Copies of this chain bind each other. A is one copy, B any other.
């Protein structure tokens, strides 16, 4: 059934106290389903660790989840070019789970070392939707898009310097991906990529039914 989306707090630009208070209040309103905060700095995760017992905290991804995760439906592969893209990837994984799908994180498969990507090909093909996260040249979604038939959501990251222009180079690459079936979300928007992919995964018929 189309259950409602979870409540999500955007932690950037809020004080630790504001975020933690918001999470507690939302959790009280929705005790049966995890609520989420993203873009939390260490000040906020530290406060949450102290004050929100049972919270699932990811310092690298900057996320705090409070309350039970929904039973997952469908599977999202989160395919990541390099280790520097990990914060975005972890935000993505947590969001996928809070939105009710299973997440399979596959890291360090950038296109400059093709064998590492090809070695994970089968695992990626088992997903109902794929999120591809890459910075610098942002070339990975073009390659993955040529390997799979399920929708690919590309997330450009701000990793890089100079003519990477804070993720613009990767964003443009992805918008021009020569493989069809690729759509794109905002730079560093692991959350947005996850929402799209989790919705796809949740509504996908099981393989046996297709």
Contacts and interface: CB of A to CB of B under 8 A. Distances in A.
A151 to B, nearest CB: 5
A12 interface: yes
Given A137-B173, A162-B158, A178 B2 contact: no
A92 to B, nearest CB: 13
Interface in A114-137: 114, 118, 128, 136-137
Contacts of A196: 151, 180-183
Contacts of A143: 111-112, 114, 139, 143
A187 to B, nearest CB: 3
Interface string A161-181: 111111111111111111111
Interface residues of A, number: 76
B137 A142 contact: yes
A2 B210 contact: yes
A139 B178 contact: yes
A64 interface: no
A175 B163 contact: yes
A160 interface: yes
A8 B181 CA distance: 13
B180 A195 contact: yes
A115 B149 CA distance: 16
A160 B10 CA distance: 11
Given A180-B195, A210-B203, A161 B139 contact: no
23 contacts: A5-B149, A10-B84, A12-B161, A110-B178, A111-B143, A113-B146, A114-B147, A128-B203, A136-B178, A137-B139, A138-B173, A139-B139, A149-B199, A151-B151, A151-B200, A161-B188, A163-B168, A164-B176, A180-B192, A182-B192, A183-B196, A203-B210, A209-B209
Given A111-B179, A163-B172, 14 more contacts: A10-B84, A111-B111, A111-B139, A112-B143, A114-B143, A137-B139, A137-B142, A139-B173, A139-B178, A151-B199, A163-B168, A168-B172, A175-B184, A183-B185
